[in-house]
A and B are shown apart, each in its own frame.
Chain A
């Protein structure tokens, strides 16, 4: 037994080892390095000057940081539930006897195969204020055109809409997989008890999807906090910082202005917020699972 346990342990370490090494090399070492940089004033050339928590103190009085943080939270608050609801709706449709289901599934999953930059470029075709498809359609219908690039609210809406287009397919895929794992006998029992479609959805389907929902919630929030490429290409954070988010602001500080210490501090704040949210969700999720 002991010998077999040792073999098993060695095998386990053998399997886990490469991942741990890779994680350490490409995640934890850079993280520690970023933390170190965030405590310095540095343009990246030569050794920086240790300034303690100055970069973090500076954040408190930085209006652009608060604007970017607010935008990130708003973006997360909009995109997370909308993409999950959209994904759930699409999954329910595609799980039913809808004609041409494979075609619809492919159409929804297709954006997942496209990079964020390409997605944003496609978004530009729609939202360009001068030559975009949407304003042309609005104009042809004699409706007022929207200032997708020069108006704060429309610009923010364009970022949200493009992200939803990109992300709903992923949510749909996870929900669809989860739906296909729900025991059909539960639905049959509920139907025999006279439950309506809505009641079955609320009391059978949604609870059965809880693990998938928990996973998607955490992942969507992390993805939303990390949003960069769509904003960078579609709006550049403008107009007037209306779509600036924490990662675009960190990029701007760290690379465009070469204030790498401050940029790293922004990144660390983002990391802490993301970890804190994930931690809270994890605890709540575990609690719910325990209740069940």
Chain B
């Protein structure tokens, strides 16, 4: 997914970077869902990236929406790597799609810059009640909804049963209450370290690239936060912040994770897991289909470790509308795709987690490895609204850069905890200023 950047690369290297910074390429439309309703009452353009399963889910939802509403939805499916350079360029050119899909950690950049449609007065009464509080918090900006939480995902531990058994670890937690504490997890990792060959590591953490936001799970588990309630002040300078940095920094010198699995590495945790370089990896449910199809060892999933409390990253994506969209049509589309049946089908097919409270309550069965669904749904229940609300900060793109720089320095640069906390705090404060 992270390798087909050709269009952007070509543009950027064309003339010493300078020209590229002012010229962005557009992707040709891949209109594969032209409406069949001859009595269309309106048209929405919808841009998204997605796996085959996700795109199949979107196509199915669009088809049923078109049948029920008479409207037309034109789906433009693009590679993830082009998605936001294209969206940015289209917004700058005044020609954005009506609706697009956006990760929660990127949502704030668009909402905060005034590019999205405020849905407050267009969503039906009580619309917010269908979602979990943490999901609804993730699409708020200045107290108003600027999108709908379409699905989420959170990281659990995927483990290689053979490698764990070879280290004498025959049982893993099977309920959320039994999840390993940080200390227990560390003991398991050290046990693996002693049993495994030098070039095989106990685990990898999925904090590479923009996944650095997943490091925040450790902070949340320590009951910390990185922004104040009003999202206007850095709040990471705390005992919880120090505990999270110190604990995760310790993974590297102890050889618990591969040295090339730090936050700025180009080697992703999932690849290390597929290649059996690690016995465990932290990953989302979206890995289930690929893992099921790729690996030939016995594997399972268990809950992420807990400290003061259990926690998790609020991954996944929202659907948002831009200001030029027909507000009523966009709201109707959003209501349709977050309908219980649509969301269940989408999430089951794509191995993603629902954001509807009723679906979380009832549980969901993934099409692939349905036996692991409760682990992911259970882990998602540990995410709190205050956690997801912070990730929706308009300054998140700058905060991500601060996290990458400081954690990289701490993990592989030997930067001490106090300096790291000071750097994180200063950087986050500057980002939100």
- Interface stretch of the complex, out of B5-13, B62-70, B185-193: B5-13
Smallest Cβ-Cβ distance to B412: which chain A residue: A239
The residue in B5, B19, B400 that gathers the most chain A C-beta atoms within 10 A of its C-beta is: B19
Contact of B397 among A34, A124, A257 (CB under 8 A): A257
Contact A252 B264 (CB under 8 A): no
Contacts of A43 in B (CB 8 A): 109, 113
Cβ-based interface call for A27 (8 A): yes
A150 x B259 contact (CB < 8 A): yes
Alpha-carbon gap, A240 to B156, bound state (A): 28
B5, B21, B266, most chain A CB atoms within 10 A: B21
Instruction: Provide the bound-state CA to CA distance between A233 and B6, in Å.
Output: 11
Contact A264 B275 (CB under 8 A): no
B272 → A minimal CB distance (Å): 6
User: Across the interface, do A228 and B22 meet the contact criterion of CB distance under 8 Å?
Assistant: no
Contact A240–B3 (Cβ < 8 Å)? no
Task: Choose, from B84-92, B136-144, B292-300, the stretch at the interface.
Answer: B84-92
The smallest C-beta distance from B431 to any residue of chain A, in angstroms, reads 9
B265 within 8 A of A: yes
Name A229's contact: one of B9, B22, B84, B260 (CB within 8 Å).
B9
| Residues in chain B within 8 A of chain A (CB atoms) | 3-6, 8-9, 12-13, 15-23, 84-85, 88, 91-92, 109, 113-115, 199, 209, 258-260, 262, 264-267, 272, 275, 277, 397-398, 400-401, 408-409, 412-413
Report Cα–Cα, A188/B6, bound state, in Å.
49
**Which residues of A sit under 8 angstroms from B262, Cβ to Cβ?**
150, 238-239
Given contacts A45-B115, A150-B259, A257-B397, 15 further A-B pairs with CB under 8 A are A34-B21, A35-B18, A45-B92, A117-B4, A128-B267, A129-B260, A130-B275, A149-B265, A228-B17, A232-B5, A236-B266, A247-B17, A258-B109, A264-B21, A271-B18
Q: With an 8 A cutoff between CB atoms, is A274 at the interface?
A: yes
Nearest first, the 6 A-B pairs at minimum CB distance are: A267-B18, A149-B260, A150-B259, A238-B264, A267-B17, A33-B22
Least CB distance from A79 to B in Å reads 15
Instruction: Return chain A residues, CB-CB under 8 Å to B12.
Output: 228, 247, 250-251
A147 touches B401 (CB 8 A): no
Closest A residue to B208 using CB positions: A236
Complex Cα–Cα for A267 and B22 (A): 10
A-B contact pairs, 13 of them (CB 8 A): A33-B23, A116-B9, A117-B9, A149-B266, A150-B260, A227-B13, A247-B12, A251-B17, A256-B397, A257-B398, A264-B22, A270-B16, A270-B18
B21-A237 in contact (CB<8A): no
* Bound CA span A235–B148, Å: 36
With the chains together, A108 CA to B4 CA distance in Å?
25
Q: Does A131 reach chain B (CB closer than 8 Å)?
A: yes
Interface of A toward B, CB cutoff 8 Å: 26-27, 30-31, 33-35, 37, 43-46, 115-117, 121, 124, 128-131, 147, 149-150, 222, 225-229, 232-240, 246-247, 250-252, 254-260, 263-264, 266-268, 270-271, 274
Min Cβ gap A127→B in Å is 10
A268 to B199, CA, bound (A): 44
- B258 and A234: CB pair below 8 A? no
Which residues of chain B are within 8 angstroms of A270 by Cβ–Cβ distance? 16-18
Of all chain A residues, which has the CB nearest B431? A257
**Contacting pair A34 B115 (CB below 8 A):** no
The residues of B that contact A263 with a CB separation of less than 8 Å are 21
CA distance A255 to B106 in the complex (A): 12
Rounded to whole angstroms, the CA-CA distance of A246 and B18 in the bound complex is 11
Q: Which residues of A contact B397 (CB under 8 A)?
A: 256-258
Q: Are B264 and A236 in contact, CB atoms less than 8 angstroms apart?
A: yes
Question: Within the complex, what minimum Cβ distance (angstroms) separates B297 from chain A?
Answer: 16
When distances are taken between beta carbons in the complex, the residues of chain A under 8 Å from B85 are 255
Among B209, B272, B275, B408, contact of A239 (Cβ-Cβ < 8 Å):
B408
CB distance B259 to A129 under 8 Å?
yes
Q: Is the CB of A46 within 8 A of B113?
A: yes
Q: Among the interface residues B6, B17, B262, B267, which one has the most CB atoms of the partner chain A within 10 A?
A: B17
Q: Which chain A residues border B6 with CB–CB below 8 Å?
A: 115, 117
The verdict on A116 contacting B13 (CB below 8 Å), with A129-B258, A149-B260, A258-B397 known, is yes
Instruction: For A264, list chain B residues within 8 Å (CB).
Output: 18, 21-22
